[in-house]
Structure 1
């Protein structure tokens, strides 16, 4: 389970990195589409942290930062032509494909980040806070609830309109096969397994690798080109 290579230390530094990416990337770029979604989530988490809506502010901020590090490190790896995690490769490889719709880019990024990165981020946060995954379950659930609400808005905002009915049916069918709620449940189980295996060396690495590959396979399906 490789650690992020370019760690950020606070939620504010996470927001700065994401805003810089938003300014640099073309709006139609697939990573830019996901980055806008994730920036909105992180801004809302920051607002709720400042408002005292998390019972344990330190735990919530630590999980949020460790989570973001995974995404930002993957972006850095792709930009430097280093090996990005398998879960992110479909998005990086197809980010400029004209036949992939913005909604597909957004959900493929969410799939990679929730399905793989979040499980490892829970383990990272447990190490940083010297706690068990169960101690972070409230923070995990609150962030997950926020993501679920945002996912519904994303689907509404990015689903093709009446002028694109020729692709609406296959897009609806394709994206209807993926569920954020199911992904969250699977991620929590994966985080607990990874924590239990933390002293098992190769076994833990193998489990994390298989998780990465499985999430990458789902991402590839979500990014099936559907035509211009």
Structure 2
């Protein structure tokens, strides 16, 4: 059953994070990060941070349901979008770093799911009213960047060193990447909301093809980058539970 409230989303994410699969693979890394973000969105809604709290909850739930549905499809052997297939396949492999797992999940969820979810809860007449609250999520994400990099650094020694050497520069690069991805997601949303059912399905396939390619490149970049990532991975824990403990 799809979730209908943010509390149900949080409970569903907890179930994945604490599942047997999450203790033997990297499948729990993205939902552990996603739970932290969702909890902050819930706080923002409760504190009146958004212009329309109920609409933001509908948006957040519709967005989360796309990930939760993809995860259940993957678990049960049903078809899943290429973007999520790339992330889920990588979660079964040793080689990707913690950061790569997180980026693969964020790539599928922001670059594919976000625009679809926004178009799903809106019509052509009212989608612009969502823009302010859609952009306000950026500020929540930006405020969390240092916390997330600290979580990664606590279990990834080489990433910790890179973070300290980079100072605020790496944080700003992350913030820009998030802003850019969400800006493209908004463009997708305003385009998707104009389409009929057949046009929507065809456009989603096009977006998914592009996002899948981007995700697979993140997971397997050029030779020099792969070497650097391999060295980072050698110093990271082999027990997924240690990584999850850093986020939970």
TM over 0.5: yes
Q: Which residue of 1 aligns with 2:241?
A: none
Query: Equivalences for 1:23-172 in 2 at 5 Å?
Result: 23-24=18-19, 25-27=21-23, 29-126=25-122, 132-158=126-152, 160-162=156-158
Q: Secondary structure of 1:30's match?
A: coil
Retained in 2: the 8 A contact 1:103–1:154?
Answer: no
Retained in 2: the 8 A contact 1:10–1:65?
Answer: yes
Q: Which residue of 2 aligns with 1:8?
A: 3
Retained in 2: the 8 A contact 1:103–1:155?
Answer: no
Aligned residues: 212
Retained in 2: the 8 A contact 1:15–1:42?
Answer: yes
Q: Which residue of 1 aligns with 2:245?
A: none
Retained in 1: the 8 A contact 2:27–2:92?
Answer: no
Instruction: Return closer, same or farther for 1:180/1:123 CA change in 2, 3 Å cut-off.
Output: same
Mapped partners of 1:108, 1:28: distance in 2: 19
Match of 1:219 among 215, 218, 225: 215
TM-score of the superposed pair, with normalisation by structure 2: 0.77
Mapped partners of 2:158, 2:191: distance in 1: 45
Q: Secondary structure of 1:31's match?
A: coil
The structural deviation recorded for 1:152 is 4.6
Instruction: Return closer, same or farther for 1:108/1:57 CA change in 2, 3 Å cut-off.
Output: same
Mapped partners of 1:28, 1:137: distance in 2: 40
Mapped partners of 1:152, 1:204: distance in 2: 37
Retained in 1: the 8 A contact 2:120–2:193?
Answer: no
C-alpha RMSD over aligned residues = 2.6
Retained in 1: the 8 A contact 2:150–2:160?
Answer: no
1:31-87 deviations in Å (ceiling 9; x for gaps): 211011000001111111112221211111110000000000000000000011111
Structure 2 spans left out of the alignment, 5+ residues: 162-169, 221-225, 235-248
Mapped partners of 2:59, 2:183: distance in 1: 17
Retained in 2: the 8 A contact 1:123–1:133?
Answer: yes
Match of 1:187 among 178, 185, 188: 185
Instruction: Return closer, same or farther for 1:209/1:148 CA change in 2, 3 Å cut-off.
Output: farther
Retained in 1: the 8 A contact 2:73–2:80?
Answer: yes
Greater fraction helix: 2
Instruction: Return closer, same or farther for 1:223/1:154 CA change in 2, 3 Å cut-off.
Output: farther
Retained in 2: the 8 A contact 1:77–1:84?
Answer: yes
TM-score of the superposed pair, with normalisation by structure 1: 0.83
Mapped partners of 1:208, 1:52: distance in 2: 33
